[in-house]
C-alpha cells in the first residue's frame, strides 16, 4: 500500500472513530447563524418596542372642580409644543381630547377622534409638528388643528384663553360625546 493509500485509510478510520464517539469536528456555520438570528430578532424587537413607545400617549383626567361648568389649564403647560391628552368622564362615556401649542404659537384643542375613524377609538399621537391618526395614519399639521373640520381631521373643540388659562366649557366637551359612543346605540 502506498503512503497516499495509508493516509486515506487512517483518515477514514479516524472519521469512523469520531462518528462513533461523537467527537467529529462540526463546522461553526450553524453556531454563527444561530447567534446572528438571535441578534437580528433582538434588534427587531427593540425597534418595535421603541417605535411603539413613540406612539403611546399619557392621558390625564381634566382638572374639574365639583359642579364646575368649565375646565381650566395653565397656558404654560403647553409652551413646549407637545400635545397633552385629557379625558372627561360622563357616566359610561370617556370623552378624550388633546391640547397643544401649534408651530404658529396658538394653543389649539380637538377631540381625540374624527368624523371618519372615530369608531376605531384610537385617536391621535404627535409626530413632530403633526398629529397622526392611529387608525389610518394620516398626518395633520398642528396649525390646522381646530381650524379644519370634517373628514379625518381631529374634530375641533372650542377653547378660550383668559388670564393665563386655557378654558374649555364642559358643555363643549360633552358636545363630542358622539365620537366616544362605542355601544352601538345612537
Domain ranges of the chain: 3-55, 59-180
pLDDT at 52: 43
The mean pLDDT of 140-147, rounded to a whole number, is 92
pTM of the model: 0.65
Query: DSSP assignment, residue 143?
Result: G
Per CATH, the number for 59-180 is: 2.102.10
Give yes or no for residue 174 having a pLDDT over 60.
Answer: yes
The torsion of the CA quartet 75, 76, 77, 80, rounded to 10 degrees, works out to 120
Write the pLDDT tens digit of every residue in 68-116: 789 999 999 999 999 999 999 988 889 999 999 999 999 999 999 988 9
Write the pLDDT tens digit of every residue in 1-56: 666 667 777 778 777 776 666 655 556 666 666 676 556 565 555 544 444 444 45
pLDDT at 148: 87
pLDDT at 14: 74
Residue 62: pLDDT band (50, 70, 90) is: low
| 3 state SS for 73-111 | EEHHHHCCCCCEEEEEEECCEEEEEEEEECCCCCEEEEE
pLDDT at 169: 95
pLDDT at 59: 56
pLDDT at 158: 95
pLDDT at 48: 47
C-alpha–C-alpha distance, residues 109 and 157, integer Å = 5
- By CB atoms closer than 10 A (0-12, 13-18, 19+), residue 57 is middle
Amino acid at each position: 500500500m502506498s503512503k497516499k493509500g495509508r493516509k486515506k485509510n487512517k483518515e477514514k478510520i479516524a472519521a469512523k472513530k469520531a462518528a462513533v464517539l461523537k467527537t467529529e469536528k462540526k463546522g461553526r456555520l450553524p453556531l454563527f447563524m444561530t447567534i446572528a438570528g438571535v441578534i437580528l430578532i433582538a434588534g427587531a424587537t427593540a425597534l418595535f418596542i421603541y417605535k411603539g413607545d413613540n406612539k403611546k400617549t399619557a392621558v390625564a383626567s381634566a382638572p374639574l372642580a365639583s359642579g364646575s361648568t368649565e375646565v381650566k389649564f395653565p397656558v404654560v403647560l403647553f409652551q413646549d409644543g407637545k400635545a397633552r391628552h385629557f379625558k372627561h368622564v360622563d357616566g359610561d362615556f370617556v370623552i378624550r381630547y388633546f391640547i397643544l401649542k401649534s408651530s404658529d404659537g396658538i394653543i389649539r384643542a380637538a377631540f381625540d377622534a374624527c368624523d371618519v375613524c372615530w369608531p376605531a377609538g384610537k385617536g391621535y399621537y404627535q409626530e413632530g409638528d403633526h398629529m397622526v391618526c392611529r387608525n389610518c395614519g394620516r398626518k395633520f399639521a398642528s396649525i390646522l388643528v381646530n381650524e379644519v373640520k370634517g373628514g379625518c381631521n381631529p374634530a375641533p373643540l372650542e377653547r378660550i384663553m383668559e388670564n393665563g388659562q386655557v378654558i374649555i366649557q364642559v358643555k363643549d366637551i360633552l358636545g363630542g360625546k358622539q365620537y366616544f359612543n362605542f355601544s352601538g346605540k345612537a
